[in-house]
C-alpha cells in the first residue's frame, strides 16, 4: 500500500469515527452500563474495525461492523469474567428532583437498562436494540434458547417493577 492510499485510509477512518463516534458510544454504553467501560469497548471495536477497514466495501455497513465488533468483544469479556451477579429486591433511593430524572423517555429507558445485571443487559440489548432472534442470541452467547427466553423474561419483569416503583414514588 503506497503512502497516499494509507493516508486517505487514515483520513477516511478518522472522519468516520468523528461523525459516528457519539452514536457508537451510546451503543457501547448500553452494552456495558457505564461510560468508562463503554469508551474502552468502543476503542477495542474501533481498533478491530480499522484493521478490517479495507474489507468493508459498503460504507453503509460500517456501523453494523462496529456494532458487531462491540457485541462480540463484550460477550468475550462477559464469558471471561463468568461472575454471576444477582439483582436485589432493594433499589437505591433516587431523588425525584434530580435533574437526571427530567430527561426524555429514551434516556430513562437507557438508564433502566443500564441498571440491569450485565447478562440481562446484554440479552436485552441484543434482543430489542439489535433486533436479534432468540436463536441468534443463544448462538452468540453460547447458551440455550430457553436460557435466553428466561433471561429476557426476568429482565423485562425487572424493568416493569422498576417502572412501577418510579411511578409510585412520583405519585407519593
Examine the domain organization and report whether 137 and 116 are in the same domain: yes
Condensed to tens digits (0 to 9), the pLDDT of residues 8-23 reads 878 888 899 999 999 9
Q: Cell for 111?
A: 438508564
Full residue range of the structural domain in which residue 23 is found: 1-82
Examine the domain organization and report whether 102 and 78 are in the same domain: no
Nearest to 31 by CA among 162, 131, 124, 107: 124
Chain position carrying cell 430457553: 146
Condensed to tens digits (0 to 9), the pLDDT of residues 11-55 reads 888 899 999 999 999 989 888 888 888 999 999 999 998 888 888
Examine the domain organization and report whether 47 and 73 are in the same domain: yes
Examine the domain organization and report whether 51 and 103 are in the same domain: no
Q: Is 46 helix (H, G, I), strand (E, B) or coil?
A: helix
Domain boundary pick from 82, 103, 132: 82
pTM, two decimals, is: 0.49
Domain boundary pick from 23, 58, 82: 82
For 151, list phi and psi in degrees, rounded to 5: -65, -45
Q: What is the pLDDT of residue 101?
A: 46
Is residue 159's pLDDT more than 50? yes
Examine the domain organization and report whether 105 and 74 are in the same domain: no
Condensed to tens digits (0 to 9), the pLDDT of residues 135-154 reads 999 999 999 999 999 999 99
Amino acid at each position: 500500500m503506497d503512502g497516499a492510499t494509507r493516508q486517505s485510509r487514515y483520513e477516511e477512518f478518522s472522519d468516520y469515527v468523528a461523525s459516528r463516534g457519539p452514536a457508537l458510544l451510546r451503543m457501547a454504553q448500553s452494552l456495558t452500563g457505564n461510560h468508562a467501560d463503554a469508551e474502552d469497548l468502543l476503542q477495542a471495536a474501533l481498533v478491530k474495525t480499522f484493521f478490517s477497514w479495507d474489507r468493508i466495501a459498503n460504507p453503509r455497513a460500517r456501523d453494523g461492523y462496529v456494532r458487531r465488533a462491540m457485541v462480540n468483544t463484550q460477550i468475550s469479556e462477559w464469558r471471561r469474567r463468568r461472575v454471576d451477579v444477582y439483582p436485589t429486591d432493594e433499589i437505591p433511593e433516587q431523588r425525584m428532583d434530580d435533574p437526571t430524572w427530567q430527561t426524555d423517555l429514551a434516556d430513562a429507558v437507557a438508564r433502566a437498562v443500564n441498571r440491569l445485571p450485565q447478562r440481562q443487559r446484554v440479552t436485552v440489548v441484543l434482543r430489542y436494540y439489535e433486533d436479534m432472534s432468540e436463536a441468534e442470541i443463544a448462538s452468540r452467547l453460547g447458551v440455550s434458547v430457553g436460557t435466553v427466553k428466561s433471561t429476557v423474561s426476568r429482565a423485562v419483569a425487572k424493568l416493569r417493577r422498576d417502572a412501577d416503583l418510579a411511578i409510585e414514588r412520583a405519585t407519593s
